[in-house]
Chain A
Amino acid sequence: DGGITQSPKYLFRKEGQNVTLSCEQNLNHDAMYWYRQDPGQGLRLIYYSQIVNDFQKGDIAEGYSVSREKKESFPLTVTSAQKNPTAFYLCASATTGVYEQYFGPGTRLTVT
């Protein structure tokens, strides 16, 4: 059963704590992405990676960090430096040369 998995679906943290969101894909896609979505807003690009061991900042990378040690995995860490971390986080993947992105089910993070 191919696809993208994100875990957990809901995540609660206290302010000041770092938290890591998981994203795994078994589609053999080269590229992976992290987007953030706030209520009534479009998706905003946080980080993306086109190849293992390489990644680029998106439009709103401040306060976030990523790693790409394996093709299948692209975890996102929300650090305490992120001012407004509460949001819906979406991971996606794509094959280079094929433009459509496949999205995971998302993780809703709430920081209080």
Chain B
Amino acid sequence: SQKIEQNSEALNIQEGKTATLTCNYTNYSPAYLQWYRQDPGRGPVFLLLIRENEKEKRKERLKVTFDTTLKQSLFHITASQPADSATYLCALGDGSGGGADGLTFGKGTHLIIQP
């Protein structure tokens, strides 16, 4: 069955450093991968999307890489700030619905940026 693994333990990073979150998957051939941010008791918010034929995407302080050979995505937050503290979810889509298909989510990584 499809499986997505994210760092199960909380990730503690000092303010100003780069936070790197990992998403590994098995038994899946995603057409694209997305990263979302979720704050406690709220719905996820979309951050970045990367397609299977792309290696890297950037948006401001965020960078995501996608290695379909390793079946892994890395999500980086540079110059991290306490406001970046949240749970970050990795989600995969198979592209069958022209981008409107449902997503398969990982359990998320709880990131804590300490001042």
Residues of A within 8 A of B (CB): 4, 30-31, 33, 35, 40-45, 48, 50, 56, 58-59, 90, 92, 94-106, 108
Contact = CB atoms under 8 A, between A and B. Distances in A.
A81 B107 CA distance: 26
Contacts of A42: 4, 89, 105-108
Contacts of A56: 102
B32 A106 contact: no
A94 B104 contact: no
B99 interface: yes
A31 B45 contact: no
Interface in B59-95: 89, 91, 93
A101 B46 contact: yes
Given A43-B44, A102-B46, A58 B102 contact: yes
Contacts, number: 70
A97 B107 contact: no
B41 interface: yes
Interface residues of B, number: 25
Contact of B100 (A90, A94, A104): A94
Q: Which of A43, A99, A101, A102 has the most CB of B within 10 A?
A: A99
Contact of A101 (B41, B98, B103, B106): B103
A96 B99 contact: yes
Q: Which of B44, B49, B107 has the most CB of A within 10 A?
A: B44
Contact of B105 (A43, A95, A96, A99): A43
Contacts of B93: 99
Across the A-B interface, the 7 shortest Cβ-Cβ residue pairs: A103-B43, A42-B105, A31-B100, A100-B46, A45-B102, A43-B105, A99-B99
A27 to B, nearest CB: 13
A40 to B, nearest CB: 7
